[in-house]
Amino acid sequence: MLRFSAQRVSSSSSTVTVADVSAWSPEPFGREQERNTTMKRAFITGITGQDGLYLAELLLSKGYKVFGLMRGQNNPKRELLERVIPDVEILTGDLTDLSSLMRAMSVAKPDEFYNLGAISFVAYSWENAHLTSEVTGMGVLNALEAVRLHTAATGQQVRFYQASSSEMFGKVQTVPQNEDTLLWPRSPYGVAKVYGHYMTINYRESYGMHASSGVLFNHESPRRGPEFVTRKVTRAVARISLGLQDTLTLGNIDAQRDWGFAGDYVEAMWLMLQQDEPDDYVISTGETQSIRVLLDHAFAAVGIDDWTPYVDFDEQFMRPAEVDLLVGDASKAKEKLGWEPRVKFPELVSMMVEADLREQKEIAGL
Ligand code: NAP
Ligand code: F7E
């Protein structure tokens, strides 16, 4: 194992606590739009994921009847859904099975369809490229077809949101990236997202569907899966500070990402479907940080200034092709949706470390 050497970048003190996170309730962007959504029906694929949970909470708070698609015959996240969002009606199905989506549509009869389901872990997509293409790529076609066929059969108009990704920019052709930046994906996941992105545009242009694509940059939260680098770091930092773990092993810590808070980003999804016209929008903070800076902030949150003794390098976490730098330009979303991110990077990291400290103390009985 190799040790990293720290490149010191300023870290900041924590300002947001876990209590702040659970108390986080969206100040509505555009109250007029909110009043008009009473008793709308929404259908969310990927309901068990980070964004699915935040979006369901947001829509419930706006008075929606929410349906969520859950896959598998005994999904271990059912208990989480029933505890956190008990008012959501769970429907079983899979993005690779069009008939299951059609059946779910006939029950949900949604006004709005949010397609968040995907195999979303980029590193995994090289080892499971075909499956990733089926779920993250072809799954979008199935979702669009389910909407098209449902509308043809019932006459009901359904607005569609596709969870596109900054990973589509890959080997970035401009800095910062906006809606006009050439796509150059660098992973099977990125390629599958490009397919879904253009298929969404194609259904909008071919069938006049109200189909919008949110090109979201990385967004994180205490609900982020532990395989992603932010959560991997904040959980390890919590465990190290509690004496439950000695070191943390990472890959390329020089990569730079534009990290925002998932709670802010699901608002942008909803806003896109409230517009008269469908469109594509970049959603980002406009600020980029390296993983080194993430380490600075996360370790500083538990009072450790020099993280180098705690961080190791392992080749297994390097990727066959890396996305070195992402930074988005969300000015179109600001201008047309009135959307802006509210949680800054230092607050986001503090929020996640605090949540992991609580969770790890509880698990360890401390
Ligand atoms: P996540 O936490 O990984 O959640 C992915 C969801 O997709 C889970 O609910 C998962 O269900 C579901 N899923 C996986 N395979 C499926 C299948 N075959 N059929 C139906 N559902 C399936 O992802 P997230 O962070 O919430 O992201 C939501 C969406 O935004 C994804 O499409 C992701 O690619 C995209 N996105 C995310 C980011 C980000 O930074 N978070 C940025 C840009 C775009 P299980 O729980 O059963 O596995
Ligand atoms: O990696 C580097 C890694 O896995 C971020 C998904 O939500 O955002 C996410 O994809 C960076 C990469 O996220 C480790 O090489 C170093 O450069 O947290 P990540 P991602 O690949 O950016 C996009 C927008 C999505 O759409 C995706 O669905 O961190 N890195 N060492 C590491 N990454 C991980 N996971 N683990 C490491 O040990």
Active-site annotation holds for 32: no
Q: Are 150 and 101 in contact (CB under 8 A)?
A: no
What per-residue confidence (pLDDT) applies to 3? 45
Model confidence band, residue 363 (pLDDT cutoffs 50, 70, 90)? very high
What per-residue confidence (pLDDT) applies to 1? 42
Q: What is the pLDDT of residues 137-185, one digit of tens each?
A: 999 999 999 999 999 999 999 999 999 999 999 999 999 999 999 999 9
Position 11 pLDDT exceeds 50: no
Q: Measured in angstroms, how far is the CA atom of residue 99 from the centroid of ligand 2?
A: 33
Residues forming beta bridges with residue 44, ordered by sequence position? 68, 114
Position 246 pLDDT exceeds 90: yes
CA distance 40 to 59: 9
Position 261 pLDDT exceeds 50: yes
Strands 159-165 and 248-250: unpaired
CA atoms within 13 A on the CB side of 245: 20
Model confidence band, residue 56 (pLDDT cutoffs 50, 70, 90)? very high
Active-site annotation holds for 227: no
Q: Give the per-residue SS3 of the chain.
A: CEECCCCCCCCCCCCCCHHHHHCCCCCCCCHHHHHCCCCCEEEEECCCCHHHHHHHHHHHHCCCEEEEEECCCCCCCHHHHHHHCCCCEEEECCCCCHHHHHHHHHHHCCCEEEECCCCCCHHHHHHCHHHHHHHHHHHHHHHHHHHHHHHHHHCCCCEEEEEEEHHHCCCCCCCCECCCCCCCCCCHHHHHHHHHHHHHHHHHHHHCCCEEEEEECCEECCCCCCCCHHHHHHHHHHHHHCCCCCCEEECCCCCEECCEEHHHHHHHHHHHHCCCCCCEEEECCCCCEEHHHHHHHHHHCCCCCCCHHHEEECHHHCCCCCCCECCECCHHHHHHHCCCCCCCHHHHHHHHHHHHHHHHHHHHCC
Pick the catalytic residue from 112, 167, 347, 354.
167
Q: Cα 85–37–208 angle (5° rounding)?
A: 105
**6 Cβ partners below 8 Å, 6+ apart?**
292, 295, 296, 306, 307, 308
Q: What is the pLDDT of residues 205-220, one digit of tens each?
A: 999 999 999 999 999 9
Closest ligand 1 atom number to CA of residue 94: 19
For a substitution probing ligand 1, which of 77, 84, 116, 125 has the most ligand atoms within 8 Å of its CB?
A: 116
Domains and CATH numbers, the chain: 2-364 (3.40.50.720)
Position 87 pLDDT exceeds 80: yes
- Model pTM score: 0.93
Give the binding-site residues of ligand 1, using a 6 Å CB cut-off: 45-52, 69, 71-72, 75, 77, 94-96, 116-120, 135, 163, 165, 216, 218-219, 225
Position 16 pLDDT exceeds 70: no
Encoded tokens for 57 = 């909470």
What per-residue confidence (pLDDT) applies to 25? 42
Q: What is the pLDDT of residues 118-132, one digit of tens each?
A: 999 999 999 999 999
What per-residue confidence (pLDDT) applies to 38? 61
Q: Are 150 and 158 in contact (CB under 8 A)?
A: yes
Position 9 pLDDT exceeds 90: no
Q: What percent of the chain has pLDDT over 70?
A: 90
What per-residue confidence (pLDDT) applies to 96? 98
Pick the catalytic residue from 165, 187, 212, 213.
165
